[in-house]
């Protein structure tokens, strides 16, 4: 749905920005910078570097700055305005989330999507808005970054990490190239977390001309008239199938292993501040139980995305259709399924993402040392092991990594995993829109606490050195001499 800005749109946004500035002023935010400056052999040292300036990276860096931790920067490999999935590989038309979620607004009403939207298009347009168009969500994130003046550098990729004393050296390439030193590192690297695409074994060795992952760049025009298969029954499978159909694909088959489509969005259904605040404090066995159950029941695709596929006469849904093997054959693919052989020109694997830290070169220095749930936090009495959960990182209370072998990689305790891979330890507070502000709050409390403790001697020295009197000495008179005089009488 397109919204025509009201004549008052620009003044509306300007008024909102003025109101936000006033609210920040009333709350004395940002707090004044309080972390001591640090140098290393003449080189400047950042307090925190954030990698990724998608929604989580922006919320994290905004919360750091508001908390007075201002010697910070976020780098994103994507050009400005193209961070995250929204206008790149997200192929849905609207967000699935309700429009009213307060998302990364960090408790500031004027920073919500709703305030931003209403300031430009008015209350009536807000009422008639159903779901948020994905491009509009991206525009909101662009504004969020601009209005808070966040220190983000685009087109800069982190390519490697190394310890330098108690600091982390971060190699960057792109619009800026070199090595940056930082005391803390936040990995807000998105849904692929620390791994990458999850690709089923049966696609190993199959020429990329015949298949793509749903998060790849896909030339949908090239699928015109072609027989397309899509694996999976989640939101991305529907969005990719619909995009192929709308681009004129000859046919699209959804190959779904399950006997039934998942129909109930379980975890969203019980969403509450209790879940947001309480999940990470639960005993591990309970955490496992919640996420094992939701992984087994699965999240259904949104109704609108499913209808966007099924409204095409050339779309078919095959349930109970597991894939046994895939072969290149006669200029296409021959797919052996549990329903028999099927032939296609192209396949899209909407098979999600993995936690395989070894999959990304920039994490090579830390990958072998990261402690996961399978290193003792998961125990068989919690239920059967499950890929995607057993390999989840075993994180500390501020999303910091832990070492598999104590002493093997101490910098891990200063690297914070603020992305989807944190879900099993922390609940859903570092990936999806609903609770990202709570996640950023937890992250920044932890970082502030540990920076303060690390600098305790400086803070104590500052205490001793502080000598600005509040009293001038002329506010009272010492009456003791009077007492002495009285005693002498
Ligand atoms: C298709 C899709 C639709 C979704 N729809 C919804 C929805 O409707 N509601 C909801 O609540 N959630 C939704 N989500 C889930 C979640 O909200 C999004 O994944 C969201 O983008 C998460 O934000 P993020 O900051 O963690 O990751 P991202 O937005 O993916 O940002 C990560 C950033 O890190 C950068 N990066 C990664 N590695 C490096 C590196 N080495 N160096 C520099 N930069 C790097 C990337 O360029 C990227 O911009 C959706 C997810 C997807 C994939």
CA distances for 12 relative to 7, 141, 323, angstroms: 9, 18, 54
Q: Which residues of 113-150 are buried (b: 16+ CB within 10 A; e: fewer)?
A: bbbbbbbbbbeebbeebebbbbebbbbbbebbbebbeb
Instruction: Classify the C-alpha dihedral 37-40-44-48 as positive or negative.
Output: negative
Q: For position 6, what pLDDT does the model report? A: 54
pLDDT per residue of the chain (489 residues) written in tens, 0 to 9: 445 555 455 579 999 999 999 999 999 999 999 999 999 999 999 999 999 999 999 999 999 999 999 999 999 999 999 999 999 999 999 999 999 999 999 999 999 999 999 999 999 999 999 999 999 999 999 999 999 999 999 999 999 999 999 999 999 999 999 999 999 999 999 987 677 888 999 999 999 999 999 999 999 999 999 999 999 999 999 999 999 999 999 999 999 999 999 999 999 999 999 999 999 999 999 999 999 999 999 999 999 999 999 999 999 999 999 999 999 999 999 999 999 999 999 999 999 988 888 878 899 999 999 999 999 999 999 999 998 899 999 999 999 999 999 999 999 999 999 999 999 999 999 999 999 999 999 999 999 999 999 999 999 999 999 999 999 999 999 999 999 889 888
Q: DSSP labels for 139-191?
A: HHHHHHHHHTT--EEESEEEEEEEEETTEEEEEEEESS-EEEEEEEEEE---T
CA distances for 310 relative to 247, 251, 253, 268, angstroms: 15, 12, 11, 24
Nearest residue to 64 via CA among 474, 423, 446, 457: 446
Instruction: Classify the C-alpha dihedral 404-407-412-413 as positive or negative.
Output: positive
Q: Residue 290 burial by CB count (10 A; 0-12/13-18/19+): exposed, middle or buried?
A: middle
- Beta strands at 415-417 and 346-349: parallel, antiparallel or unpaired: unpaired
Structure tokens at 16: 């909102």
User: For atom 24 of ligand 1, which residue has the closest CA?
Assistant: 190
What pTM was estimated for this model as a whole?
0.95
Q: Residue 467 and residue 459: Cα distance in Å, rounded?
A: 14
CA distances for 10 relative to 20, 22, 113, angstroms: 15, 18, 16
227 CA distance to ligand 1 centroid (A)? 30
Q: For position 191, what pLDDT does the model report? A: 84
Mutate which of 145, 158, 189 for ligand 1? The one with the most ligand atoms within 8 Å of its CB, which is 189
Q: For position 381, what pLDDT does the model report? A: 96
User: For atom 41 of ligand 1, which residue has the closest CA?
Assistant: 158
Instruction: Please report where in the chains the tokens 């791994």 appear, as a residue.
Output: 195
CA dihedral angle for residue 307, residue 308, residue 314, residue 320, rounded to 10 degrees:
-50
Q: Residue 350 and residue 241: Cα distance in Å, rounded?
A: 10
329 CA distance to ligand 1 centroid (A)? 36
Q: Is the CB of 349 under 6 A from ligand 1?
A: no
428 CA distance to ligand 1 centroid (A)? 14
Q: Phi and psi at residue 282, in whole multiples of 5°?
A: -70, 155
User: Which residues on adjacent β-strands are paired with residue 163?
Assistant: 168
Q: Are 347 and 231 in contact (CB under 8 A)?
A: yes
CA 311 to chain centre: 33
Q: Which residues of 24-33 are buried (b: 16+ CB within 10 A; e: fewer)?
A: beeeeebeee
Q: For position 402, what pLDDT does the model report? A: 98
Q: Is the CB of 192 under 6 A from ligand 1?
A: no
Structure tokens at 350: 């909407």
Q: For position 1, what pLDDT does the model report? A: 46
Q: For position 11, what pLDDT does the model report? A: 73
Nearest residue to 111 via CA among 54, 63, 49, 57: 63
Name the 3-class secondary structure at 368: helix
Instruction: Classify the C-alpha dihedral 392-397-401-405 as positive or negative.
Output: negative
Q: Is the CB of 419 under 6 A from ligand 1?
A: yes
Question: Omega into 175 within 30° of 0, i.e. cis?
Answer: no
Q: For position 5, what pLDDT does the model report? A: 52
């Amino acid at each position: 749905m397109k919204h025509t800005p009201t004549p008052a749109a620009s003044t509306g946004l300007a008024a909102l920005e003025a109101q936000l500035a006033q609210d920040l002023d009333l709350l004395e935010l940002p707090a004044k910078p309080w972390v001591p400056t640090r140098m290393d052999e003449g080189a400047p040292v950042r307090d925190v570097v954030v990698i990724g300036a998608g929604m989580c990276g922006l919320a994290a860096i905004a919360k750091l700055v508001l908390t007075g931790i201002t010697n910070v920067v976020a780098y994103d490999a994507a050009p400005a305005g193209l961070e995250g999935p929204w206008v790149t590989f997200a192929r849905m038309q609207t967000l699935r989330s309700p429009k009213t979620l307060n998302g990364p607004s960090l408790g500031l009403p004027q920073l919500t999507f709703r305030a931003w939207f209403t300031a430009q298009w008015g209350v009536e347009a807000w009422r008639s808005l159903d779901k948020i168009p994905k491009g509009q969500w991206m525009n909101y994130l662009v504004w969020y970054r601009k209005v808070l003046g966040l220190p983000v550098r685009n087109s800069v990729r982190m390519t490697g990490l190394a310890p330098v004393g108690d600091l982390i050296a971060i190699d960057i390439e792109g619009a800026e190239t070199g090595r940056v030193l930082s005391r803390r590192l936040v990995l807000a690297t998105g849904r692929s977390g620390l791994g990458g695409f999850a690709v089923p074994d049966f696609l190993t060795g199959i020429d990329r001309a015949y298949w793509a992952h749903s998060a790849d760049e896909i030339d949908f025009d090239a699928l015109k008239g072609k027989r397309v298969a899509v694996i999976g029954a989640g939101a991305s499978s529907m969005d990719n199938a619909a995009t192929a159909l709308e681009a004129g694909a000859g046919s699209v088959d959804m190959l779904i292993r399950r006997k039934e489509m998942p129909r109930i969005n379980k975890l969203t259904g019980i969403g509450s501040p209790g879940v947001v605040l309480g999940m990470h404090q639960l005993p591990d066995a309970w955490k496992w139980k919640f996420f094992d159950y939701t992984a087994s029941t699965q999240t259904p695709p949104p109704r609108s995305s499913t209808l966007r596929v099924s409204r095409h006469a050339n779309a078919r849904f095959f349930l109970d259709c597991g894939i046994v093997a895939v072969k290149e054959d006669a200029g296409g693919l021959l797919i052996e399924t549990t329903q028999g052989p099927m032939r296609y020109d192209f396949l899209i694997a909407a098979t999600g993402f993995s936690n395989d830290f070894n999959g990304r070169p920039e994490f090579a220095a830390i990958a072998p040392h990261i402690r996961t749930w399978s290193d003792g936090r998961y125990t068989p009495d919690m239920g059967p092991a499950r890929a995607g959960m057993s390999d989840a990182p075993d994180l500390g209370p501020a999303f910091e990594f832990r070492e598999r072998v104590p002493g093997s990689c101490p910098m891990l305790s200063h690297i914070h995993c603020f992305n989807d891979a944190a879900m099993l330890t922390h609940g859903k507070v570092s990936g999806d829109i609903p609770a990202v502000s709570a996640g950023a709050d937890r992250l920044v409390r932890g970082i502030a606490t540990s920076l303060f403790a690390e600098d305790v001697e400086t803070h104590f020295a500052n205490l001793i050195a502080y000598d600005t009197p509040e009293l001038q000495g002329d506010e009272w008179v010492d009456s003791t001499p009077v007492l002495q005089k009285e005693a002498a009488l």
